[in-house]
Amino acid sequence: MLRRGRASLAFGFFAQGVAFALLVTRIPAIQDRYGVSDALLPVFLAAVPILAGVGSVTTEQLVKRVRPSRVLRWSQPVVLLALVGVGSGDRMPVLGLALAVFGLSVGALDASMNMLGVSLQRAYGRSIMLGFHASYSLGGILGASLAWAGAHWHLALWVSYAPVVLVLLPAVFVGSRWYVDGGGSEPGEGEREEAPEAAPEAGAGSGPLVFRMLLPFCLVMTFAYIGDSTVSNWSAKYLQDVLGSSEQLATVPYNVYMVTTLVGRSLGDLGVRRLGAATVVRLGAVTAAVGFAVVAAARGAWVGMLGFTLLGLGLCVLVPGTFAAAGRRAFEQGGAGASDTAIARLNVFNYVGFLIGSPLVGALGDAWSYRGAMCVPMVLVLATLGYARSFAPRAAGYGDGHERARTADVGRAGNGL
């Protein structure tokens, strides 16, 4: 049961990576198709993460009544259909509606997906969360590659999107049958029922307590996404305008970043098991800070690409590690319901970091210099070191010498890995 749940959730992460990459990498084509002006484009781009935040907050309330697996089961097809809507329309209101649906549903999808990942990790008794995010990175690489092929062959957006959705839509719907809620219970319909061990303690789910507990994780999440959005939005421009690379070479850093993100996340769970979550977060923060320093100091394109490579290896562990640690800490205080609440609230800061990062670097680059602007996310990532101790488990958990024995890794029912 757990093995199938893990595989189906990993595929859900993969499908989300494909869908998101297909959207963000074809923004110029979307702008041309709908005639969106340069002045209006930032409004559309900002609306998606804002609405995603609304979707995440809504999911916090929704999972009090239905299981997270059910939210994920229905939000993922909506995300895919909204993607087709973006590619199929030809009028501005259609684009606005499709992006609104995409944003709201992707917020629900991200929140519920990470809720299930955290609960599965709790059932396994060892770190598996980074592996789910590795699947997302793999999907992002595939989606970006498909987008490149569509642009290279001058395919219409709907021609690029529709075949992918036709493949993914039935696959994710069938795979959703094996989603596992609450660290081992079969997904079911209707009202959500908590196990007795998951019942919140008195006051554990209250807003002030959750906020105080979540604050370090919210800051780390924001800093990580400021760094990630800096790479996503400015790596090509930085290499071409600051380091003097060719236009073709300027497309390489983001691809390198995505590949090293995949590598880092694929190996990250092993690092957490051997070294502990807090140590992995510290290593990731230091590596990312060195990467930003190399980018800021680089005098040539190849040195700059080395910096972006280090950024991928460093930043990749922060987000999944933050979800895992926050979910674990909330569960210790209030059970599965508190864990889901924590994940939904923390997920909002994913979008906060995304909204802040790109405009911040752009404004500093225009007013000062892009080299200097790269030092700002470097400092923010280094600030993560001050919160790393929050990632260490208080009791037996995921790493720091407290792993469960191999024979107990697989959950309560004795299912194989």
How far apart (Å, rounded) are the C-alpha atoms in residues 139 and 80? 14
Task: Please write the tens of the pLDDT for every residue from 37-58.
Answer: 988 988 998 999 999 999 999 9
- Look at residue 1 in the predicted model and tell me its pLDDT: 81
Q: Which residue has the tokens 């906020």?
A: 211
Instruction: Say which residues have a Cβ less than 8 Å from residue 1's Cβ, sequence separation at least 6.
Output: 178, 180, 184, 186, 411, 413, 415
**Residues recorded for the chain:** 417
Structure tokens at 9: 């959730």
pLDDT at 203 over 90: no
Structure tokens at 278: 């807090």
Task: Please write the tens of the pLDDT for every residue from 113-147.
Answer: 999 999 999 999 999 999 999 999 999 999 989 98
C-beta of residue 52 within 8 angstroms of C-beta of residue 103: yes
Structure tokens at 395: 């009791």
How far apart (Å, rounded) are the C-alpha atoms in residues 246 and 64? 52
How far apart (Å, rounded) are the C-alpha atoms in residues 230 and 358? 6
C-beta of residue 324 within 8 angstroms of C-beta of residue 346: no
How far apart (Å, rounded) are the C-alpha atoms in residues 388 and 59? 28
Dihedral (CA of 159, 160, 161, 165) sign: positive
Distances (CA, A) of 170 to 15, 74, 117: 11, 12, 21
Provide the total of helices (H) and of strands (E) in the chain, helices listed first.
14, 0
| DSSP-based three-state secondary structure for 155 | coil
* Model confidence, pTM: 0.88
CATH superfamily, with its number, for domain 1-182: MFS general substrate transporter like domains (1.20.1250.20)
pLDDT at 263 over 60: yes
Architecture per CATH, domain 203-400, reads as Up-down Bundle (1.20)
- Which of 217, 184, 157, 234 lies closest to 336, judged by CA? 184
Task: Please write the tens of the pLDDT for every residue from 318-368.
Answer: 999 999 999 999 998 888 999 999 999 999 999 999 999 989 999 999 999
Distances (CA, A) of 70 to 66, 113, 189, 233, 255: 7, 10, 7, 34, 34
| DSSP-based three-state secondary structure for 183 | coil
CATH 1.20.1250.20 in the chain, residue ranges: 1-182, 203-400
Distances (CA, A) of 209 to 63, 204, 206, 333, 374: 19, 7, 6, 9, 35
What's the whole-number mean pLDDT along residues 252-261?
90
Instruction: Say which residues have a Cβ less than 8 Å from residue 308's Cβ, sequence separation at least 6.
Output: 231, 235, 253, 254, 256, 257, 291, 295
Higher pLDDT, 124 or 403: 124
C-beta of residue 62 within 8 angstroms of C-beta of residue 6: no
- Which of 49, 101, 138, 112 lies closest to 357, judged by CA? 49
- Look at residue 279 in the predicted model and tell me its pLDDT: 97
pLDDT at 92 over 90: yes
Higher pLDDT, 354 or 205: 354
Q: Which residue has the tokens 């977060």?
A: 281
